[in-house]
Amino acid sequence: MNLPDDTPVYVISIAAQLSGLHPQTLRTYDRMGLVSPGRTSGRGRRYSMRDIVMLREIQRLSQEEGVNLAGIQKILELQNANEELHAEMKRLRRMVEELGNELESTRAVAARLAQLRGESRGGDLVPIRQAGVVIWRQQESGG
């Protein structure tokens, strides 16, 4: 049985052993919001493997890099914000690509319509986007 890394399964004593930290330290980190374990119906903490990895990283930053807990909290906030921005950028890139494809398709349709109707009738067909749908309107020629 393979559980996802974010499944809260470890009680605080096991999480403390796996992370190399004292259970009281885990409680402190929880109160500070550095690591937020899942909770049972009785409010007991349950840590996931992702939480354990985060606890180890907090310990590394503190012990090896000499970063205080306020600094670690800021680092974690910035990492989360960075991940959110990357996800948003990825979503926007997909949207730009979809819109580019739609524009290319619309231009092809416009060219074909112009070819079919001939250029002599005056005014061009102009694509207009309304509520996510492209409609065509006759644009009067100036003259």
Confidence at residue 19, expressed as pLDDT on a 0 to 100 scale: 95
Q: How far apart are CA 134 and CA 79, in angstroms?
A: 40
Phi, then psi, of 111 in degrees rounded to 5: -65, -40
Looking at the domain covering 1-67, what would its CATH class be? Answer: mainly alpha
Model confidence at 102: pLDDT above 60: yes
Four-CA torsion 67, 88, 94, 128, nearest 10 degrees: -160
Q: What is the mean pLDDT of the chain?
A: 87
Residue 120 has a pLDDT of 52
At CA 101, angle to CA 97 and CA 103, rounded to 5?
115
Predicted local confidence at residue 62, as pLDDT = 94
Q: Is the pLDDT of residue 143 over 70?
A: no
Domain ranges of the chain: 1-67, 68-143
Long-range Cβ contacts of 31-36 (<8 Å, 24+ apart): 32/69, 32/73, 33/73, 34/58, 34/69, 34/72, 34/73, 34/76
pLDDT tens digits, residue range 24-38? 999 999 999 999 999
What is d(CA 64, CA 91) in angstroms, rounded to the nearest whole number? 36
